[in-house]
Structure 1
Amino acid sequence: MIIMIAAASENNALGKNNELVWHLPNDFKRFKSLTSGHHIIMGRKTFESFPKPLPNRTHIVISRQENYKPEGCTVVSSMEKAIEICPSNEAIYIIGGGEIYNLGIPFSNKIELTRVHHSFEADAFFPEINLKDWEMIHSEFQNKDEKHQFDYTYQTYIRK
């Protein structure tokens, strides 16, 4: 199963200047819980936004740069090649950024989305979820609190 996992605002903003524009610790915990032990596919800029590779995950980085070879990662030139080198009998997570989500949505069977209930100025966006193709099967609202500046909802979609 190929799963896109993201946190996106009401206007589908993902981030600006290669950084998230919000801080939701519970969403980080959920991301870690879901993706640990799995292959994660990302673009070069997303990978470079991490201080170091994420523990207990196999990193597949999509890049057009032929000499790009970060330590501990497999680098490929396309979404098709990224998917091809992942085990076909395991969950594979596409973790961003915006361009990679656009490339990945045709291949995806499931979306794990954290919808941040605010609009942000951004330069990277999650693709619009077409409800003709996707069905929401789970929704769990979370109130803002002392550690979370914005309300948010965990949403799970499956391809129809």
Structure 2
Amino acid sequence: MIMANILKCFLFVFICRTTNGAAGNGDPPAPVKAAFTATLPGGANQYGQNNIIRYNQMLCTDDGYNHNTGIFTVGAGKAGNYLVSVTMMSGLVTAHTTLRKNGAIYVWLYTGNQYDMATQTVCMELIAGDQIWVQMNNKASSLFDVYNTFTAVRIN
């Protein structure tokens, strides 16, 4: 199970590293890139209830993702369907997190103790100005190490 989650993370990193294609050769214009993958720093990362998770280690960047706030905002010209994935590992405590769209819960993630992992991958229709983020929902918990990722990729 852990290996499957790690392979999903690698898949998203490879997707993020694709190019937008040739320009000026008569081909239709390439869509504007919209993709990011971020993870947490090593060790235990503590969060209080309702804190937004700030994934601040960028593996693939997009100017719409703010690593200081943990919020991705869809920019002008980047509306569309997005494949969004959240993977979490909580270490020695349980954790409940939610993926949120404009403040509303989109999906839940839950882990028990003993380094359990959880993953949600969903398709979201997002328009310019929409915001998505991951939020801790139980009273206090921690997320363990770089096994926690947040990814969004616009599907062309």
Give the TM-score taking structure 1 as reference length.
0.29
Determine which structure has the larger helix proportion and give its number: 1
Determine which structure has the larger strand proportion and give its number: 2
Give the TM-score taking structure 2 as reference length.
0.29
Larger radius of gyration: 2
